[in-house]
């Protein structure tokens, strides 16, 4: 494991796992007929003398994670009748019928212990099926009060895995661009739930187009040295980690790493116009892939590494094209609309999200790689741009000015459950980039 990955995990987190009992689970939020499943979250039990503020933070973080997942209609214990409000911790199986009055299908209960001498935190969560009155699974996580949110995020992912057979994305992060008060643009990063927002760059230059490298660093284009060069930096923003990575004359932007991490496709402004180039993973040996007469931009690899989707105006307006990873077999993908940009290939490989003009506004759309089943996911006032997929292919992050200034939003992959990521009133926010899972 690289030093970058070690640093990103912050502190060691131990996990203990009781395997789930097979039963009526498996949820898919992007199924057309999906309805959120009611899930009750009883009051957590504080073991020994664990402070109430720790318990409140654990409960709040878990509650928000489960709500944001889109899978569940989460029922807060404070909304229950008085006899159930007072029940703390993990119930015995024989008492499960008492919880049927909540109308929930599932119950997620837990307990926490803080070890004062070390500030160590031990969490245990249990999952129950209230329809069949049975135990499903038990998970335990250990960490410290300093990384409490991270520990709870991992527990949330455990619960989601036990109900869907795939881990959640609560440990992931989203990088994005923020307009600074002095007119520059800086790179920021936030957790999946919009918390823990912090600046990555603070150089008062123009920093744009963030992307995540395979080792967990953030790549971005900056005018720090007047030319739009490509840089890499650790997400903690340590200036010592800043590396000028690709600085050929002209534009160096929009990098996309191949699935095996050995190559980088990016837009480079050589020879008087922008083209798609391939670099080795260390930034050397640039090879031009495109040979069109227009400007080419925004390359994105397919999950299998065989193809690259990109934008080109060779037909007179920006459209999406797909080519083999060696530059051969170029074909046009989009034909509807005169403006289609910012492609993002789903990790599942089945759809490509992009930004297109619809009814005079920019909207987020998806399309299959064969050009079929175009879907418009956003609507209404404002422009919606720069979509990117979560690493599990369940969600899409994008920027929108629907409420005034541009902000980062998240929605399910089918366009449902749209919500704003960050709530702070800083400058405009653009160009989200979703990290891999930091497990």
Q: What is the pLDDT of residues 285-306, one digit of tens each?
A: 999 999 878 899 999 999 999 9
DSSP state of 316: S
Domain that holds residue 79: 13-164
**Residues 216, 354: one domain?**
yes
Q: How many CB atoms lie within 10 A of CB 201?
A: 25
5 assigned to some structural domain: no
Q: Which two tokens stand for residue 406?
A: 């541009």
Q: Quote the CA–CA distance of 258 and 81 in Å, as a whole number.
A: 54
2, part of any domain: no
Once rounded to an integer, what is the mean pLDDT over residues 373-397? 96
- Look at 27 and 378; give whichever has higher pLDDT: 378
- pTM for the full model? 0.89
Dihedral angle computed from the Cα positions of residues 140, 143, 146 and 148, in that order, rounded to the nearest 10 degrees: -10
Same-domain status, 365 and 307? yes
User: Whose CA is closest to 374, among 365, 383, 382?
Assistant: 365
Please give the pLDDT value at position 20: 58
Let me know if 12 is exposed, middle or buried by CB neighbors in 10 A (0-12, 13-18, 19+).
Answer: exposed
Q: Quick check: is 292 in a domain?
A: yes
**What are 320-337's pLDDT values in tens digits?**
999 999 999 999 999 999
Residues 6 or more apart whose CB falls under 8 angstroms from that of 294 comprise 273, 312, 313, 314, 315
Percent of the chain with pLDDT over 70: 92
Decide: 54 and 114 in contact? Cβ < 8 Å. yes
Question: Strand 296-301 relative to strand 307-312: parallel, antiparallel, unpaired?
Answer: antiparallel
Structural domain count, the chain: 2
Residue 41, in any domain of the structure:
yes
What residues contact 310, with CB distance under 8 A and at least 6 apart? Answer: 265, 276, 290, 296, 297, 298, 299, 300, 320, 321, 322, 323, 343
What is the percent of the chain where pLDDT is above 90?
Answer: 80
Mean pLDDT, all residues of the chain:
91
Angle between helices 148-164 and 52-68 (to 10 degrees): 40
Distance of alpha carbon 152 from the chain centroid? 17
**Domain for residue 40, yes or no?**
yes
Sign, CA dihedral 423-425-429-434, equals: negative
**Structural domain contains residue 230:** yes
User: Is residue 386 assigned to a domain?
Assistant: yes
Same domain for 236 and 361, yes or no, is yes
Q: Verify that 44 and 68 share a domain, yes or no.
A: yes
CATH number of the domain where residue 217 is located: 2.120.10.30
| Average pLDDT of the residues in 413-433 | 88
């Amino acid at each position: 494991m690289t030093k970058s990955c070690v640093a990103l995990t912050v502190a060691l987190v131990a996990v203990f796992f009781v395997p789930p009992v097979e039963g009526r689970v498996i949820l898919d939020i992007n199924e057309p007929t999906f309805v959120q499943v009611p899930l009750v979250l009883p009051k957590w039990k504080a073991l020994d003398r664990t402070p109430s503020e720790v318990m409140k933070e654990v409960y709040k973080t878990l509650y928000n994670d489960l709500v944001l997942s889109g899978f569940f209609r989460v029922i807060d214990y404070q909304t229950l009748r008085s006899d159930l409000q007072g029940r703390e911790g993990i119930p015995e199986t024989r008492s499960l019928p008492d919880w049927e009055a909540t109308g929930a299908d599932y119950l997620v209960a837990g307990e926490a212990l803080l070890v004062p001498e070390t500030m160590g935190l031990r969490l245990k969560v249990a999952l129950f099926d209230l329809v069949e009155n049975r135990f499903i699974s038990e998970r335990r996580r250990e960490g410290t009060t300093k990384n409490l949110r991270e520990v709870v995020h991992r527990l949330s992912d455990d619960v989601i895995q036990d109900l869907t057979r795939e881990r959640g994305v609560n440990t992931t992060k989203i990088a994005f661009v923020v307009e600074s008060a002095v007119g520059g643009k800086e790179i920021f990063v936030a957790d999946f739930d919009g918390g823990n927002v912090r600046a990555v760059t603070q150089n008062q230059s123009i920093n744009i187009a963030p992307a995540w490298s395979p080792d967990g660093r953030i790549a971005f284009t900056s005018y720090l040295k007047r030319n739009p060069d490509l840089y890499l930096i650790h997400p903690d923003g340590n200036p010592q980690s800043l590396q000028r990575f690709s600085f050929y004359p002209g534009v160096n932007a929009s990098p996309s790493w191949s699935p095996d991490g050995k190559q980088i496709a990016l837009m480079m402004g050589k020879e008087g116009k922008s083209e798609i180039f391939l670099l080795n993973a260390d930034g050397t040996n640039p090879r031009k892939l495109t040979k069109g007469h227009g400007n080419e931009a925004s390359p994105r690899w397919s999950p299998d590494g065989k193809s690259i989707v990109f934008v080109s105006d060779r037909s007179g307006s920006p459209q999406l094209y797909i080519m083999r990873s060696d530059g051969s077999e170029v074909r046009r993908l989009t034909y509807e609309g005169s403006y289609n940009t910012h492609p993002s290939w789903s990790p599942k490989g089945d759809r490509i999200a992009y930004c297109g003009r619809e009814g005079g506004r920019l909207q987020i759309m998806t399309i299959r790689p064969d050009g079929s089943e175009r879907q418009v996911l956003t609507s209404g006032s404002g422009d919606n741009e720069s979509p990117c997929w979560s690493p599990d292919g369940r969600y899409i992050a994008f920027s929108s000015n629907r409420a005034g200034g541009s902000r980062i939003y998240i929605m399910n992959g089918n366009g449902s459950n749209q919500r704003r990521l960050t709530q702070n009133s800083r400058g405009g926010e653009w160009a989200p980039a979703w990290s891999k899972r930091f497990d």
